[in-house]
A and B are shown apart, each in its own frame.
Chain A
Amino acid sequence: DAGVTQSPTHLIKTRGQQVTLRCSPKSGHDTVSWYQQALGQGPQFIFQYYEEEERQRGNFPDRFSGHQFPNYSSELNVNALLLGDSALYLCASSSESGPNRYTFGSGTRLTVV
């Protein structure tokens, strides 16, 4: 049973560029959340998608946007990258009707230079 799959695992981008990160949820899960984790800190909630719509959003600027597809997979897009966007980006999936716990992927390490 595949868990949450994220791609790519590592990425290096230049300031001002745009990036797209991808996430495939665990089989049977229909809700996807994205988190940003800076070095040495706990993950910070970016937003959550359910039924292809953004349901909840954390304190992140509009440069951060996302999408959920009919197969429940999701993308996180970040525009106009800043050095401060360098972090581990985590995707977590859950089931709206199942046990209330999240399954996390191993993340995408984004470095902005």
Chain B
Amino acid sequence: DAKTTQPPSMDCAEGRAANLPCNHSTISGNEYVYWYRQIHSQGPQYIIHGLKNNETNEMASLIITEDRKSSTLILPHATLRDTAVYYCIVRVMGSARQLTFGSGTQLTVLP
């Protein structure tokens, strides 16, 4: 699976949009971009995934650049409960493939 690079930490004001970047310059054509987050003392939680088109669900939006070498996870109206470590993972579709977690981005939402 392709390697990802994320900033170690970011801050965001409550109510504002949180934009979390991820670089995956070696991504292959059949690899998807997944985002998970891990709130302190809990297991990781699935947020969203995409291949090349932008995706949106009830939690977040995922913007993937045209060359697919980077992506941005957007939390449109961050709340204090969004404070967590956010992991960007690139992998081929298929449940037999494990998730390879990096260090992630610690997002802190400030009141």
Contacts and interface: CB of A to CB of B under 8 A. Distances in A.
Bound pair: A and B?
yes
Interface-centre pick from A33, A56, A100 (highest chain B CB count, 10 A): A100
B49 A106 contact: no
Interface residues of B, number: 22
A14 to B, nearest CB: 24
Interface-centre pick from B49, B98, B102, B104 (highest chain A CB count, 10 A): B98
A101 B43 contact: no
Nearest to B44: A104
A112 B81 CA distance: 32
Nearest to A57: B98
Contact of B99 (A4, A45, A105): A45
B42 interface: yes
Contact of A103 (B46, B85, B100): B46
Interface stretch (A66-74, A75-83, A87-95): A87-95
Interface-centre pick from B46, B85, B94, B103 (highest chain A CB count, 10 A): B46
A92 B34 CA distance: 15
Contacts of A8: none
Interface in B88-106: 93-104
B96 A106 contact: no
A50 B96 contact: yes
Nearest to A47: B98
Given A4-B43, A106-B41, A41 B103 contact: yes
Interface of A: 4, 31, 33, 35, 41-45, 48, 50, 55-56, 58, 90-92, 94-96, 100-107
